[in-house]
Structure 1
Amino acid sequence: MEKVIATLRAAPGDDAWCTRLRTEVADDLLALGASGLAVNVRDAAVTDSLMTLTTLDPPVVAVVEIWTQQSYGPHVTGALSRLTGECARVDAYLVTESVPLPPPPTEPGARTPGFANIALLRRPADLDEETWLARWHLDHTPVAIATQSTFGYTQNTVVRPLTPGAPVVDAIVEELFPLEATRDLHAFFGAADDADLGDRMNRMVASTSAFGANRDVDTVPTSRYVLRSPFAAEVTR
């Protein structure tokens, strides 16, 4: 099975657009028959998050994840065709998925608790791929889990872009946090007090700096909806 991630870029939409994307549009994507589908939207619940960083213009306002038997098959080509026109630009990437901290299961179409912070990472030119992956996967993963209030953590390494002219993105990370973490750094880092917060932030900055995730990055706060899970029968529809 393969996984494809599509980024939707536009001026931030209103909640009516976000709702339509995760309902009407998502139903059309489900009808194409892919093994799994998740839709993340930057809606009113998360739009004021402190953890928003943007390099792309227009910015990413939604992310669609598709699990399929063929990244070049009708599940994906049909989905990208359907998403075109819903925003200013759609870009898709074939990825490999690692899940150090599995997200909690939800009912099909229900909002995942908290919020999903999605980061688009680029590998620095002065780091070869082997070193970059080792510093990210092996060195950084335990630091990220230990220093933040994360309760779901998925790492997607980009294999190649699937759409012409797609911006360079080397990885797409999705981390789940409590909703209060959108506005409270103590909640984001799970810190007991200011001293603990400072320690956790310093450890995170040192770790992300080692593989370049402290710069040239987009972070997109989103509400996450799993419409069809390829892994758990109880949340498949």
Structure 2
Amino acid sequence: MPLGRFAIVEKVILVARAAVADDSWCARLRGPVAEELLDLGLPGLAVNVKDSAVRESLMTLTTLDPPVAAVLSLWTDQHYGPQVDAALQRLARESDTVAGYLVTESVPLRAPEIELGARTPGLANVALLRRPPELDEPTWRTRWHRDHTAVALETQTTFGYTQNAVVRALSPDAPAVDAIVEELFPDAAVTDIKAFFGAADDADLAERIERMVASTSAFGANRDVDTVPTSRYVLRSPWRAAR
């Protein structure tokens, strides 16, 4: 089968931080600002915003100040080209600070397709991971990719799972981040920890958490991590016909 027009592209993730990011800010980001980014001709764009639908998630962890308020995924032919430069400049006008990262994308569990521009059902949890200094990169990557992936899928109610390994930062003042993980959970997972882990009862919950903690501890994802609850909007997909 021949490759489509947008089959081979690079992925860039922009992390926007803001001390004040209410629902009107979120709506502006996924609305008018997203439209301006689409006008750049990007092959793909997804906007994740920390809005009121998910803001009270029990699984929120924050190390950065100001905290992460939005995460945008851009697919582009040239990560160092004018599209990404323009996107960083545009988002900087809406945020206290914005950082860009070139990533390689692995998708152990692809989310079901929905209408472009519509909110993806459920909680889109985004995690910013750092490699501990005591782990060399091959060991860290093996424990994350090879060992942890199955545990994450087996112990949680995930229906979409994307792992982004950071190749390098594209902003001079970008916080150190080694990986950005995107996971999709059902709506109930926002406030119900049993729904988050898919546990039948307290004993099952304890067992799932124990497995998860042991697995994340092995590659340092139990510390120095930001987890950001978001609502996810895919505006244009590089794997489907352009809007």
Using structure 1 for the length normalisation, give the TM-score.
0.98
Matches within 5 A, 1:58-69: 58-69=66-77
Residue identity in the other structure for 2:132: P
1:158 matched to 2:159? The reply is: no
Residue identity in the other structure for 2:68: V
Provide the rounded CA distance (Å) in 1 between the counterparts of 2:210 and 2:240. Answer: 37
1:7 alignment partner in structure 2: 15
Identity of aligned residues (%): 70
* SS of structure 2 residue aligned to 1:76: helix
Provide the rounded CA distance (Å) in 1 between the counterparts of 2:193 and 2:49. Answer: 22
Question: How far off is 1:106 after superposition?
Answer: 1.5
Q: Of 119, 142, 156, which residue of structure 2 is paired with 1:111?
A: 119
Q: Of 144, 149, 158, which residue of structure 2 is paired with 1:141?
A: 149
1:29 matched to 2:32? The reply is: no
Question: What residue ranges of structure 1 are gaps of 5+ in the alignment?
Answer: none
Question: How far off is 1:58 after superposition?
Answer: 0.3
What CA RMSD, in Å, does the superposition of the two structures yield over aligned residues?
0.7
Matches within 5 A, 1:35-114: 35-114=43-122
Question: How far off is 1:203 after superposition?
Answer: 0.3
Provide the rounded CA distance (Å) in 1 between the counterparts of 2:20 and 2:12. Answer: 23
Question: How far off is 1:232 after superposition?
Answer: 2.2
1:176 matched to 2:193? The reply is: no
Provide the rounded CA distance (Å) in 1 between the counterparts of 2:74 and 2:24. Answer: 23
* SS of structure 2 residue aligned to 1:96: strand
* SS of structure 1 residue aligned to 2:144: helix
Number of aligned residue pairs: give it: 235
1:17 matched to 2:25? The reply is: yes
Provide the rounded CA distance (Å) in 1 between the counterparts of 2:84 and 2:41. Answer: 10
Provide the rounded CA distance (Å) in 1 between the counterparts of 2:150 and 2:96. Answer: 37
Provide the rounded CA distance (Å) in 1 between the counterparts of 2:222 and 2:120. Answer: 27
Over residues 122-171 of structure 1, what are the superposed CA-to-partner deviations in whole Å (9 max), with x where a residue is unaligned?
00000000000000000000000000000000000000000011100000
- Runs of 4+ more than 3 Å apart: none
Provide the rounded CA distance (Å) in 2 between the counterparts of 1:12 and 1:218. Answer: 18
* SS of structure 2 residue aligned to 1:105: coil
Provide the rounded CA distance (Å) in 2 between the counterparts of 1:36 and 1:74. Answer: 15
